[in-house]
């Protein structure tokens, strides 16, 4: 048991205050070391690591081979120079990395902490803290090691911690010490504490700890509730003492930060495969040449021995052939250039820097630039097919704002005149000193109505101020801080506060408010808590006047049913309003009240108490009791809360889906919320043919629902296609039967497919538009799984969406259901998974990775997204909101979702393009270079004589040809960034992997081999007879070498010139510089000076001069170049002329535009019209679907918490999802209730965490969306930006949208609305001003302009992208730039 380390601990024993005892076990100290090397170990360790790379070892092996004189066909330095270069570049990089790690280690290790030593608290460095020490922590300090909480300044040994660094949750958590130790208040007692802890060995489970404390012959069980983990921050607690259990590397934080999974890109994998192939090829060449050598040595060499005897150990031709094989392996090894990997790294590094430097991905509000945290994945960004997005904090800001309301049939909060420059934010302060200045509302009428004293309005806000479970904290007079469990509740209470109904404080039995300046205390009689089934909550209060009233707020669907019949008229008006709100993607709640007489209350109270006390079916009984009283209510109105999307989310999603990227939203949130967000960010639209909702609870029902969805899809798409493919149905049937699903196997009937918008199916002819059609185009390739159903589903036309619940997803992810789920989901345009656990998020990603062979990208901001970020090919973290866990796990991070479009469509696309071009060229140039040796082998007796000078071989890859191709790999652009955002279809080649695949590779190789043939045989044919003008023959080896080498350098330079599409100064310098350096170096190496110093090393003295002075040599070079390049040129021209890629066309158009700079009046829309599918016939076909916008991000149980009063003491952490050791009944019920939900604490708390505070811009989603769609088909393609120099996009934006040029920066928040609206007006299609208010307007504009969407897309994206995507900050930033 007391084995010494390294054998893993089986159990850990720690005795407090006894260093000697603890030292026996040699536990790790608290000193952390993330660095890998120190000064002494750096070289050996780093070299050892580097030689673990196969490529490096291979070259080392070659180097050793070269030392054998019989084999050595090259001098040793031809390999060692590049190898040393590669190794040293890597070493420098590693050293720099390690230096920074040293620095940060030191910083952390030297932090001060207070350690209890011999009864007194002393300051110690973190690294000197030992296991078994007792340390003191103060408020807001980082916990230095994993501690067992002994005592704290708070009652009951409680203390509060924030675990953002550990799991990303920003809410506070409570920890409590074991009851016996919490009495050890002061240091003296603690110093004499000698308890011994026996616990599990170090592990990485953050939420689990089990151990036992032995003290004074008693055993106490320890759990995670008693632990403070390193990385946490102590909050709201003056001080606490803890016993160090795990230190340094043993802490859970460090145990969790193992080596990150190394992600490789598909290009990497392809590259590795190809390199292996090349090795195979190399071996083949070697064998061919060795056989040649054997034959030659037998037939010729043996006879030639009088002039050239075999080297001593060689006594027969077979042995000679064997050696010759290795010699050829050495000289042909340049087909796998050592510089390949290092060049790839350099290029990726360059691309990463460009990402980091991109101003358009800089968020000025949070002062964060985008960051490429890994440099190895860039080109994969250009191949993404699936995006998995978190919702809260990623798509949304997790800020709820009270946006609109309907009171007594009157709707408020609409901005009536969309063309009004900037709506004025209401100023509440003169009217209400308690108002929150951050609150934004724009409709003056409502304030007027409050001031006038409208009874309904007052009652409305009174309800909002009373009916909730918010806790308040009033630090000083008037400085109210609300702690709301869900942000939308907070928003409502805040709204009431601003309109004069200020919630001040509560006790278990009272609620104190300030109503219009008058303090009123209501006694709280009951809270009828919210739950998922009830979808509403109520409070019953007694006003100071003694009137008892029930206030209820809840989902319109449930609430409207429970109204008093006299509300009929008001109800219909209000439901119209609710419909509008819902269509805008707002979260709605209906509000109602009911007056209760004393008797009624007494009677109900009795029944409630009875129900409450019931032991069995307590919940059902309670629900029944609640139901009983929540009847005959009077409708007050409705609220609409905007779950604020991040800036530019709908546009980004639109652009990404145009780029044929499928976006799946995976959220822990509820279905309603998720669907709502789906609508507001335009993933779901009312025009969708069908939105399937899968929410079955059993395998059978899920299977059933999925199948039904597929059948429906096929059916619908057939009606759309007008029965064109008649055989399809049969096929479909057969497939499904074949799949083994019996017809008519009814599940348990929870199927709720077709929950929404069956009507939309009627409009079958339209729909899709460009998006669906465009998607359909790529589907064949995208879904290569050969299983019949998916094949069939590939041909689906029309737009479908799938919403699947967490518990259904659990079934759908089972092995036998996977394919079925996948084929359904992949046929849908949008997929939303709600109520998913972090693990499920990862599973979904893995599923796609496994079956689709598509590149996946996961984007999220919270700790619950870490698993999916890690398992996706590319993980993107949204920085700056919910802790940094997601960012730490991610490969890229930035602060706004909208930057994703730039990351993918611009940087990803370029990276992919550049990398592909780079690789193509790289393989080409090395084959062209190396294969010449192969041909020469046939003429030199297969003796592994090289064609070129050894220096040329050494320098070819690292000097003569490296820089131009690097410059191309780093700087090349086929189309400028605005264009690739304008034409998202440009992204497609990456997804289909068209630019570099095995086929392209073979083309490159073939071209390289062709070039090598030309490069060898043209000089061969010319020089074998040629002589200098002095009569000296040119056929000597050195002349031949110089001629071939020069031709090679010129040919590959011309080739890179052809390949480079973007000639910056740097490219020019590198291309010309490389050519120049070739000649310079060659003349230098062939100079007499060098020869005189080392006659044995520079055999080529004078060759350059006497060769290059010969016109014949130049004629040969020109001839070889022409023969190499002309076919390539012809081929490329033909390809461009006959089958131009979109990028070619865009590029060409750009050129023409630059030349002519005059409008041509054509529409870009045409580009997509062909693939855009049918788009007519949707006019005015607003689906009649009545969506409930209800979304209450609540968990039940908090009403009980409040009335029990338990949380009052814990004031500030009332809402943390803690389960403390209290065993009172409410906690139990709470737990039980929680258990009934499949909802993990992580995800819940993620969504409920306090809203980030920095976002100030307000973008009503609909105005944005109308700007997406408000384009005109006739929009001229030039769109000004083109002619304008690229940096001047702001002017272009202004002129195209006719927005008043000077947007007051102060009005930042409102600017987007204005410009968006102005743009729709400016582009003059939709004459109806869509203020983003009417759903009808939305549909109408969608219908009319559907087609133009694609034509017009350009403008939107340009406005949003060219000047930093997303309007609001844009205007400001750009204008600052200029």
Partner 1 sequence: MATSYNAKDEDGHITVSGPSGGTLRSKKPENTAFKQQRLPAWQPILTAGTVLPAFFIIGLIFIPIGIGLYVTSNNIKEFEIDYTGVDMSSPCFNCSQSFSWNSTRPCTCTIPFYLDQPYESNVFMYYGLSNFYQNHRRYVKSRDDNQLNGDPESLKGPSKECEPYAKHDNKPIAPCGAIANSMFNDTLELFYNDPNGTKIQIPLNKTGIAWWTDKHVKFRNPEGNNHNLTAVFQGTTKPVNWRRPVYELDDDPENNGFINEDFIVWMRTAALPTFRKLYRIIPRKSSMVPTLPSGNYTLEVVYNYPVRSFEGRKRMILSTISWMGGKNPFLGIAYMTVGSVCFFLGVVLLIIHHKYGNRNNSADISN
Q: Is 1257 exposed, middle or buried (0-12, 13-18, 19+ CB in 10 A)?
A: buried
Q: Which of 98, 133, 268, 390 is catalytic?
A: 390
The site map against partner 1 for 130-149 (x = CB under 8 A) is ------------x-------
| Stretch in the footprint of partner 1 (CB under 8 A) among 10-18, 23-31, 103-111, 768-776 | 103-111
- Binding status of residue 1298 toward partner 1 by CB under 8 A: no
- Binding status of residue 1025 toward partner 1 by CB under 8 A: yes
- Of the pair 518, 1139, the CB lying nearest partner 1 is at 1139
| Stretch in the footprint of partner 1 (CB under 8 A) among 280-288, 505-513, 642-650, 1253-1261 | 1253-1261
d(CA 188, CA 84): 62
- Of the pair 98, 690, the CB lying nearest partner 1 is at 98
Site for partner 1 in 909-928 (CB under 8 A): 910
- Of the pair 880, 1197, the CB lying nearest partner 1 is at 880
CB of 16 to partner 1, least distance (A): 25
Contacts of 152 (CB under 8 A, 6+ apart): 158, 159, 177, 182, 237, 238, 239, 240, 241
- Of the pair 1199, 1257, the CB lying nearest partner 1 is at 1257
- Binding status of residue 1022 toward partner 1 by CB under 8 A: yes
CB of 986 to partner 1, least distance (A): 11
Question: In this chain, which of 832, 904, 1174, 1277 binds partner 1, going by CB under 8 A?
Answer: 1277
At 1322, list the tokens: 């400016």
- Among 1049, 1038, 1045, residue whose Cα is nearest residue 1107: 1038
| Stretch in the footprint of partner 1 (CB under 8 A) among 127-135, 612-620, 754-762, 1252-1260 | 1252-1260
Q: In 3-state terms, what secondary structure has residue 235? A: strand
Site for partner 1 in 927-966 (CB under 8 A): 939-941, 943-945
- 233 forms beta bridges with 142, 162
- Of the pair 793, 966, the CB lying nearest partner 1 is at 966
CA distances from 965 to 146, 340, 451, 713, 1060 (A): 52, 11, 72, 49, 8
Site for partner 1 in 494-533 (CB under 8 A): none
d(CA 1258, CA 441): 11
Tell me the torsion sign for CA atoms 447, 451, 456, 457. Answer: positive
CB of 1331 to partner 1, least distance (A): 28
- Of the pair 739, 1145, the CB lying nearest partner 1 is at 1145
- Binding status of residue 163 toward partner 1 by CB under 8 A: no
CA distances from 669 to 537, 615, 848, 1195 (A): 19, 31, 22, 11
- Of the pair 1055, 1229, the CB lying nearest partner 1 is at 1055
Residue holding tokens 């090598």? 1012
Site for partner 1 in 600-629 (CB under 8 A): none
d(CA 1139, CA 884): 47
Q: Are 672 and 532 in contact (CB under 8 A)?
A: no
Q: In 3-state terms, what secondary structure has residue 511? A: strand
- 149 forms beta bridges with 242
The site map against partner 1 for 961-1000 (x = CB under 8 A) is ----------x-x---x-----x-----------------
Site for partner 1 in 1181-1240 (CB under 8 A): none
CA 1363 to chain centre: 22
CB of 1153 to partner 1, least distance (A): 6
132 φ, ψ to 5°? 100, -10
Question: In this chain, which of 129, 134, 159, 253 binds partner 1, going by CB under 8 A?
Answer: 253
Question: In this chain, which of 44, 517, 1102, 1304 binds partner 1, going by CB under 8 A?
Answer: 1102
At 425, list the tokens: 């934010």
Site for partner 1 in 270-329 (CB under 8 A): 300-301, 303-304, 306-309, 311-312, 327
Residue holding tokens 């133009």? 1348
Site for partner 1 in 844-873 (CB under 8 A): none
Question: In this chain, which of 216, 259, 613, 999 binds partner 1, going by CB under 8 A?
Answer: 259
d(CA 1090, CA 1128): 40
- Binding status of residue 346 toward partner 1 by CB under 8 A: no
DSSP H helices in 938-997:
950-955, 962-971, 977-982, 988-991
Question: In this chain, which of 178, 384, 903, 1123 binds partner 1, going by CB under 8 A?
Answer: 1123
- Of the pair 876, 1022, the CB lying nearest partner 1 is at 1022
- Of the pair 523, 945, the CB lying nearest partner 1 is at 945
- Of the pair 1093, 1302, the CB lying nearest partner 1 is at 1093
- Binding status of residue 1112 toward partner 1 by CB under 8 A: yes
- 152 forms beta bridges with 240
- Binding status of residue 34 toward partner 1 by CB under 8 A: yes
Q: Clarify whether 311 is annotated catalytic.
A: no
- Among 275, 479, 134, residue whose Cα is nearest residue 922: 275
- Of the pair 541, 1085, the CB lying nearest partner 1 is at 1085
- Among 285, 296, 284, 303, residue whose Cα is nearest residue 321: 296
Question: In this chain, which of 83, 254, 495, 803 binds partner 1, going by CB under 8 A?
Answer: 254
Question: In this chain, which of 1149, 1183, 1242, 1323 binds partner 1, going by CB under 8 A?
Answer: 1149
Q: What phi-psi label fits residue 431: left (phi over 0), alpha (psi between -120 and 50 degrees) or beta?
A: alpha
CB of 1377 to partner 1, least distance (A): 6
Report the half-sphere exposure of 892 (CA within 13 A, side-chain side): 33
- Binding status of residue 1092 toward partner 1 by CB under 8 A: yes
Number of C-beta neighbours around residue 806 at 10 A: 23
The site map against partner 1 for 869-908 (x = CB under 8 A) is ----------xxx-xx--xxx-------------------
- Binding status of residue 1148 toward partner 1 by CB under 8 A: yes
CB of 1286 to partner 1, least distance (A): 6
Site for partner 1 in 359-388 (CB under 8 A): 359, 362, 364-369, 374, 376
- Binding status of residue 68 toward partner 1 by CB under 8 A: no
- Binding status of residue 1162 toward partner 1 by CB under 8 A: yes
Site for partner 1 in 202-241 (CB under 8 A): 231, 233
Site for partner 1 in 1337-1356 (CB under 8 A): none
Q: Is 94 exposed, middle or buried (0-12, 13-18, 19+ CB in 10 A)?
A: middle
At 839, list the tokens: 């693990």
At 186, list the tokens: 């002061």
One-letter-per-residue 3-state SS of 272-320: HHHHHHHHHHHHHHHHHHHHHHHHHHHHHHCHHHHCCCCCCCCCCHHHH
| Stretch in the footprint of partner 1 (CB under 8 A) among 171-179, 688-696, 827-835, 1158-1166 | 1158-1166
Contacts of 326 (CB under 8 A, 6+ apart): 65, 68, 71, 286
Number of C-beta neighbours around residue 138 at 10 A: 13
Q: What phi-psi label fits residue 520: left (phi over 0), alpha (psi between -120 and 50 degrees) or beta?
A: beta
Total residues in contact with partner 1, by rule CB under 8 A: 151
Q: Is 69 exposed, middle or buried (0-12, 13-18, 19+ CB in 10 A)?
A: exposed
Question: In this chain, which of 424, 1256, 1301, 1306 binds partner 1, going by CB under 8 A?
Answer: 1256
Q: In 3-state terms, what secondary structure has residue 885? A: helix
| Stretch in the footprint of partner 1 (CB under 8 A) among 149-157, 420-428, 954-962, 1149-1157 | 1149-1157
Question: In this chain, which of 1111, 1223, 1235, 1302 binds partner 1, going by CB under 8 A?
Answer: 1111
CB of 1147 to partner 1, least distance (A): 6
- List, by residue number, the catalytic residues: 390
């Amino acid at each position: 048991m007391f084995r010494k380390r390294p054998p893993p601990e089986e159990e850990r024993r720690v005795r407090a205050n006894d260093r000697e005892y603890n030292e026996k076990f040699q536990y790790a100290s608290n000193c952390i070391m993330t660095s890998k090397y120190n000064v002494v170990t750096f070289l050996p360790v780093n070299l050892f690591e580097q030689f673990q790379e196969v490529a490096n070892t291979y070259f080392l092996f070659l180097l050793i081979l070269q030392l054998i004189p019989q084999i050595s066909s090259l001098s040793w330095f031809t390999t060692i120079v590049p190898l040393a270069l590669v190794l040293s570049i890597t070493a420098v990089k590693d050293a720099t990395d390690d230096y920074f790690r040293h620095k940060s280690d030191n910083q952390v290790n030297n932090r001060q902490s207070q350690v209890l030593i011999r009864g007194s608290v002393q300051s110690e460095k973190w690294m000197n803290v030992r296991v078994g020490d007792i340390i003191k922590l103060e408020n807001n300090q980082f916990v230095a090691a994993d501690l067992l909480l002994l005592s704290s300044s708070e009652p009951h040994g409680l203390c509060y911690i924030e675990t953002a660094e550990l799991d990303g949750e920003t809410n506070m958590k409570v920890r409590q010490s074991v009851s016996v130790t919490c009495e050890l208040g002061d240091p003296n007692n603690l110093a004499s504490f000698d308890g011994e802890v026996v616990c599990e060995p170090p592990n990485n489970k953050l939420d689990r700890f089990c151990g036992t404390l032995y003290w004074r012959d008693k055993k106490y069980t320890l759990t995670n509730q008693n632990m403070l983990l390193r990385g946490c921050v102590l909050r709201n607690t003056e001080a606490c003492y803890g016993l160090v259990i795990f230190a340094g590397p043993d802490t859970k934080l460090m145990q969790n930060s193992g080596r990150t999974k190394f992600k490789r890109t598909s290009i990497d994998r392809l590259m590795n495969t190809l390199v292996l192939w090349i090795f195979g090829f190399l071996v083949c060449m070697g064998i061919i040449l060795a056989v040649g050598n054997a034959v030659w040595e037998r037939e010729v060499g043996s006879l030639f021995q009088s002039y050239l005897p075999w080297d001593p150990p060689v006594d027969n031709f077979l042995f000679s052939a064997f050696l010759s094989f290795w010699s050829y392996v050495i000289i042909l090894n340049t087909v796998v250039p050592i510089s390949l990997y290092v060049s790839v790294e350099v290029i990726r590094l360059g691309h990463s820097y460009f990402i980091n430097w991109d101003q358009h991905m800089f968020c000025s509000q949070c002062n964060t630039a985008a960051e490429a945290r890994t440099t190895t994945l860039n080109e994969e960004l250009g191949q993404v097919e699936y995006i998995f997005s978190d919702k809260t904090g990623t798509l949304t800001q997790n800020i709820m704002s009270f946006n609109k309301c309907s009171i007594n049939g009157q709707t408020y909060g609409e901005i009536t005149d969309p063309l009004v420059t900037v709506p004025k934010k209401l100023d509440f302060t003169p009217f209400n000193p308690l108002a929150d200045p951050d609150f934004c509302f724009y409709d003056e009428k409502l304030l007027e109505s409050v001031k006038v004293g409208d009874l309904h309005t007052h009652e409305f806000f009174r309800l909002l101020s009373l009916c909730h479970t918010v806790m308040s904290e009033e630090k000083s007079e008037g400085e109210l801080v609300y702690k709301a469990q869900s942000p939308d509740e907070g928003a409502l209470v805040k709204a009431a506060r601003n309109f004069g109904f200020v919630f001040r404080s509560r006790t278990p039995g009272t609620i104190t408010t300030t109503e219009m300046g008058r303090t009123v205390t209501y006694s709280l009689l009951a809270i009828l808590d919210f739950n998922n089934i009830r979808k509403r909550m109520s409070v019953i209060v007694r006003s100071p006047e003694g009137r008892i009233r029930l206030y209820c707020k809840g989902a319109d669907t449930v609430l409207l049913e429970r109204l008093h019949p006299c509300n009929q008229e008001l109800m219909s008006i209000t439901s119209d309003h609710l419909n509008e709100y819902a269509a805008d993607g707002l979260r709605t709640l209906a509000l109602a009240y009911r007056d209760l007489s004393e008797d009624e209350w007494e009677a109900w109270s009795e029944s409630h108490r009875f129900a409450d006390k019931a032991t069995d079916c307590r919940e059902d009984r309670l629900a029944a009791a609640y139901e009983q009283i929540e009847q005959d209510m009077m409708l007050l109105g409705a609220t609409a809360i905007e779950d604020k999307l991040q800036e530019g989310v709908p546009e980004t999603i639109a652009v990404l889906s145009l780029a044929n990227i499928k976006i799946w939203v995976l959220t822990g949130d509820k279905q309603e919320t998720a669907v709502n967000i789906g609508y507001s960010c335009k993933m779901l639209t009312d025009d969708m043919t069908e939105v399937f909702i899968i929410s079955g609870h059993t395998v059978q029902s899920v299977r059933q629902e999925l199948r039904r969805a597929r059948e429906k899809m096929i059916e619908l798409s057939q009606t759309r296609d007008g029965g064109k493919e008649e055989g399809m149905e049969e096929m479909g049937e057969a497939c499904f039967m074949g799949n083994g699903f019996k017809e008519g196997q009814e599940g348990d009937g929870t199927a709720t497919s077709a929950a929404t918008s069956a009507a939309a199916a009627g409009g079958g002819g339209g729909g899709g538009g460009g998006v669906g059609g465009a998607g359909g185009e790529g589907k064949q390739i995208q879904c290569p799984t050969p299983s019949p159903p998916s094949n069939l589903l590939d041909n689906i036309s029309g737009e479908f969406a799938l919403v699947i619940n967490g518990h259904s997803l659990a079934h759908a992810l089972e092995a036998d259901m996977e394919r079925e789920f996948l084929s359904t989901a992949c046929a849908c345009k949008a997929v939303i998974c709600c109520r998913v656990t972090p693990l499920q998020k990862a599973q979904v990603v893995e599923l796609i990775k496994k079956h689709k062979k598509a590149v996946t990208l996961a984007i999220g901001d919270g700790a619950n997204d870490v698993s999916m970020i890690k398992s996706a090919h590319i993980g993107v973290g949204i920085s700056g909101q919910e802790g940094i866990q997601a960012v730490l796990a991610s490969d890229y991070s930035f602060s706004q979702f909208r930057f994703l479009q730039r990351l993918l469509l611009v940087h990803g696309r370029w990276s992919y393009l550049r990398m592909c071009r780079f690789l193509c060229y790289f393989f080409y140039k090395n084959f062209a270079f190396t294969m010449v040796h192969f041909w020469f082998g046939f003429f030199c007796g297969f003796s592994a004589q090289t064609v070129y000078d050894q220096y040329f071989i050494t320098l070819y890859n690292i000097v003569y040809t490296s820089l131009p191709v690097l410059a191309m790999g780093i700087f090349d652009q086929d189309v400028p960034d605005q264009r690739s955002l304008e034409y998202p279809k440009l992204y497609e080649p990456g997804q289909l992997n068209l630019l570099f695949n095995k086929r392209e590779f073979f083309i490159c190789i073939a071209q390289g081999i062709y070039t090598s043939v030309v490069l060898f045989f043209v000089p061969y044919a010319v020089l074998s007879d040629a002589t200098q003008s002095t009569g000296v023959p040119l056929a000597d080896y050195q002349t031949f070498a110089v001629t071939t080498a020069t031709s090679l350098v010129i040919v590959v330079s011309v080739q890179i010139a052809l390949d480079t599409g973007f000639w910056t100064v740097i490219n020019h310098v590198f291309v010309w510089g490389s050519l120049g350096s070739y000649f310079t170096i060659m003349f230098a190496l062939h100079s007499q000076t060098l020869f005189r110093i080392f006659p044995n090393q520079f055999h080529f003295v004078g060759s350059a001069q006497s060769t290059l002075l010969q016109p014949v040599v130049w004629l040969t070079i020109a001839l070889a170049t022409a023969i190499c390049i002309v076919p390539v040129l012809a081929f490329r021209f033909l390809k461009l002329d006959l089958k131009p890629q979109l990028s070619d066309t865009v590029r060409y158009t750009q050129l023409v535009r630059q030349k002519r700079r005059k409008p041509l009046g054509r529409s870009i829309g045409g580009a997509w019209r062909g693939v855009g599918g049918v788009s007519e016939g949707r006019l005015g076909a607003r689906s009649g679907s009545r969506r409930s916008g209800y979304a209450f991000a609540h968990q039940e149980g908090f009403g009980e918490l409040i009335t029990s009063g338990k949380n009052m003491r814990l004031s500030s952490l009332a809402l943390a999802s803690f389960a403390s050791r209290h065993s009172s009944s409410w906690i139990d019920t709470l737990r039980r209730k929680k258990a009934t939900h499949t909802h993990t604490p992580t995800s819940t708390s993620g969504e409920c965490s306090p809203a980030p505070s920095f976002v100030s811009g307000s973008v009503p989603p609909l105005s944005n969306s109308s700007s997406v769609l408000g384009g005109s088909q006739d929009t001229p393609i030039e769109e000004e930006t083109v002619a304008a120099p690229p940096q001047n996009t702001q002017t272009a934006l202004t002129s195209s949208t006719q927005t008043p040029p000077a947007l007051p920066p102060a009005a930042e928040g409102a600017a987007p609305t204005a410009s968006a609206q102005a743009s729709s007006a400016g582009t003059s299609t939709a004459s109806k001003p869509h203020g983003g208010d009417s759903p009808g307007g939305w549909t109408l504009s969608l219908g009319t302009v559907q087609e133009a969407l694609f034509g017009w897309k350009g403008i939107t994206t340009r406005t949003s992208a060219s000047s930093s995507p997303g309007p609001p900050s844009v205007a400001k930033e750009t204008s600052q730039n200029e």
